[in-house]
Amino acid sequence: GTVDFALSSLSITEERAKSIDFSIPYYDGNIQLCIRRENSPQDDRTIYRSLDDLATSKVATYTGSSQERALEQKYPKMQIQRMDDDLDMLKSLVHGMCEAVVLDDYTMKYYSKQVGGVEIIDSFGDLSFGIAFKKGKNSELREQFNRFIGEIESNGTLLQMKERWIEDPDNS
């Protein structure tokens, strides 16, 4: 079978744009670093205040993600634990199987509240999510999505959705 589009936290990158056509971004955010609360900057004993402090540590992130590639490039000695499930990443952090988790900000905000015992200590790197289309195909459908995204952005619906589902998921 064929797929008309893919919509699942796909960050728009130059590398991906070589093989995928993207819609305009529907979400702009950043990457966040999360550690166990016992190792947070409020604790004077902590050694983790930024990602640089974890350059040789075990850090979990998504397999095949933009975050994974960025970590590999900037921190070649980092022990990257590649995982496919964000909740599993945070649970492995809480249970001491890794020292930190690197995820996009909206996933981190949502799951860090559910798991507890973790704290976001650093944000870095901009990212934008878009809807992916097969390169050179479905341009009409892509334009329909672009118009829709533009419309809900201009009338405030997109902001309301972000506030409800991302900024304050407990009230959704």
Q: Over range 132-153, report the average pLDDT.
A: 95
Rounded Cα distance, 62 and 69, in Å: 10
Q: Over range 100-117, report the average pLDDT.
A: 84
pLDDT at 158 over 90: yes
Whole-model pTM: value is 0.80
pLDDT at 97 over 60: yes
What is the CB-side half-sphere exposure of residue 123 using CA atoms within 13 A? 9
pLDDT in tens, 49-78: 888 999 999 999 999 888 898 899 999 999
DSSP result, 39-92: GSTTSTT---SSGGGGTTSEEEEETT-HHHHHHHHH-TT-EEEEES-HHHHHHH
Looking at per-residue pLDDT, the higher value among 109 and 155 belongs to: 155
pLDDT band, residue 1 (cuts 50/70/90)? low
- Predicted confidence at residue 99, as pLDDT, reads 93
8 Å CB contact between 48 and 171 = no
Q: Report the mean per-residue pLDDT for the chain.
A: 87
Identify the helix (H) or strand (E) that includes residue 101.
Answer: strand 100-104
Identify the helix (H) or strand (E) that includes residue 16.
Answer: helix 14-17
Q: Over range 127-152, report the average pLDDT.
A: 95
Rounded Cα distance, 82 and 149, in Å: 32
8 Å CB contact between 91 and 62 = no
Q: Which stretch of 41-45, 75-79, 92-96 has the lowest confidence by average pLDDT?
A: 41-45
pLDDT band, residue 124 (cuts 50/70/90)? confident
